[in-house]
Amino acid sequence: MKKFIHIDMDCFYAAVEMRDNPKLACVPLAIGGNSRRGVLSTANYIAREYGVRSAMSNYHAKQLCPDLVIVPGRMAVYKEASNQIREVFSRYTDLVEPLSLDEAYLDVTDSTACKGSATLIAQQIRADIYNATGLTASAGIAPIKFIAKIASDEKKPNGQFVVLPHEIDDFLAQLPLGKIPGVGKVTLEKLNLKGLYTGKDVREKGVNWMQQHVGNFGVSLYQKCAGEYVGKVSTDRIRKSLSVEHTYEYNKTSLQECLDELPRLLDELVLRLNKQQLRNRINKLSVKVKFANFVVTSADQVYHELNTEIFVQLLTKAYQRGLQQPVRLLGIGVGIKNEPEQNFQLSILD
């Protein structure tokens, strides 16, 4: 039996703006898109009570909610938060499939954290995300991939919902077809016209009927509704690097303050390398520095084991490029060389 977790941040862009500007925390808020047509990227939960939604025009939204505050988006900040949540995921499993900046599927079937309880892992991931970013996430947990995604919407915001193996059958039977990923508005209308509204309706028609009347899409829809389609988290499993990083609550204002952080980062890196048995496959050491103005710089050196002195040199070099700018994030990492068997296979394929 597989264990999937789907994580999705709550009103992501808006939550970042509320975090960074307390004046926005308690007002109906939307993020203006960058498109010419002027549609919203998202809205906070206060604005949603007035019916304001993603992809709605600014004009329409203002009609629904005259007090709506619309601010422009800050993509660089959203990307940073996105990197932070992906770093959290990597603490629990390598099997991560990001779907967008704010959501990802995780396969935790073989994870040993929390004694293997996917429910507890999801809980802990959400707590870690909050500690790292100050933002809340919701989670869905299920033995079937697409059900985990549907489940992550059930207890939004800041909640989680689990569908246990013995509950799958009932869950699918009552499931409105429009909730299934890939069933959009137009498809749903067509299905409704054929009398299909829920998973139960599809199952009762049977796979042959679905093939005849809906085509190949109908077959895959049938498999989903019948619980026959478990799904697989697809990821690039050949690791090329491993790194740890930390965004500081207060910027570091001197080289010495940055160097003082090295031992902690190094401890964390050692832990992660040992856990994944990668210690003997190091081929490069690297350091990353993000300055207060969000400019990122990195420095690396070819080397085949961890070495504190080299990290000190790399950090000094990277720090100096900032010309005394305060530092908001530090990271250290290693390059990983492929295992010999992999090289062999690649050369056959060539």
Q: What are the residues binding ligand TTP (CB under 6 A)?
A: 8-13, 41-42, 54-55, 102-103, 156-157
- At residue 199, the 3 state secondary structure works out as helix
Nearer to ligand TTP, 156 or 288 (CB): 156
Please report how close the Cβ of residue 143 comes to Mg ion at its closest, in angstroms: 23
Q: Which is nearer to ligand TTP, 7 or 142 (CB)?
A: 7
CB of 42 to ligand TTP, least distance (A): 3
Residue 215 identity: G
Nearer to ligand TTP, 29 or 210 (CB): 29
Given ligand TTP, Mg ion, none, residue 271, with its beta carbon under 5 to 8 Å by kind, binds none
Based on the residue annotation, tell me whether 103 is a catalytic residue of this protein.
yes
107 makes contact, choosing from ligand TTP, Mg ion, none, with CB < 5 to 8 Å by partner type, with none
What is the distance between the alpha carbons of residues 175 and 148, in angstroms, rounded to a whole number?
13
Q: Nearer to Mg ion by C-beta: 102 or 245?
A: 102
- The interface partner of residue 42, options being Mg ion, ligand TTP, none and the CB cut-off 5 to 8 Å by kind, is ligand TTP
Taking the CA atoms of residue 84, residue 94, residue 330 and residue 127 in that order, the dihedral angle to the nearest 10 degrees is: 40
CB of 129 to ligand TTP, least distance (A): 13
d(CA 347, CA 342): 9
Q: Which does 316 bind (CB under 5 to 8 A by kind): ligand TTP, Mg ion, none?
A: none
String of DSSP letters for 31-98: EEPSSTT-BEEEE-HHHHTTT--TT-BHHHHHHH-TT-EEEE--HHHHHHHHHHHHHHHHTT-S-EEE
The entry of ligand TTP, Mg ion, none that residue 13 binds, CB within 5 to 8 Å by partner kind: ligand TTP
* Shortest separation between residue 155's beta carbon and ligand TTP, angstroms: 11
For binding to Mg ion (CB under 5 A), which residues are involved?
A: 8-9, 12, 102
Nearer to ligand TTP, 48 or 145 (CB): 48
Candidates 17, 80, 103, 245; catalytic one: 103
User: 127-130 long-range contacts, Cβ below 8 Å, gap at least 24?
Assistant: 128/88, 128/91, 129/7, 129/9, 129/84, 129/85, 129/88
Question: Which residue, among 91, 127, 96, has the nearest Cα to 112 in the 3D structure?
Answer: 91
The DSSP annotation for 122-155 comes to HHHHHHHHHHHHS--EEEEEESSHHHHHHHHTTT
* Shortest separation between residue 235's beta carbon and ligand TTP, angstroms: 20
Q: Which residues are catalytic?
A: 103
